[in-house]
Amino acid sequence: MSKHAYRLAFCLLALVVPAVVPAQAETAPFLTYTQSAVAPTMAQACAGATQKIADHCDIHGPITTDPGRCLPLYGLDGTLLTYACTCEASTTYCGVFRPFPG
């Protein structure tokens, strides 16, 4: 067979094998996964963003937080109701494993 015929056969084999051999789980890796949260305190906002990563990722790298800012929220009469603090948490990688359907 010629070199082109071997290449064609290899390409066809590479396309057919994944369809024939069933996988046990589907892996979806993400690089630099980020979540954000809003809460009345900065500590709660960063904890919420970190928890979102832990809830979404089956495996993940170290989580770092980047506190945003806290803004006051006032009522209609001008009294201070609470604060809205934002925080962003990031991880170097996030692996999600889903059961293979079927």
98 confidence band (pLDDT: 50, 70, 90): confident
Tell me the pLDDT tens digit for each residue of 36-86.
999 999 999 999 999 999 999 999 999 999 999 999 999 999 999 999 999
19 confidence band (pLDDT: 50, 70, 90): very low
Q: Which domains does the chain have, with CATH numbers?
A: 23-99 (3.30.1660)
97 confidence band (pLDDT: 50, 70, 90): confident
- What value does the mean pLDDT of the chain take? 79
Q: Is the pTM of this model over 0.85?
A: no
Instruction: Read off the tokens for 13.
Output: 């084999």
pLDDT number for residue 49: 97
Higher pLDDT, 7 or 78: 78
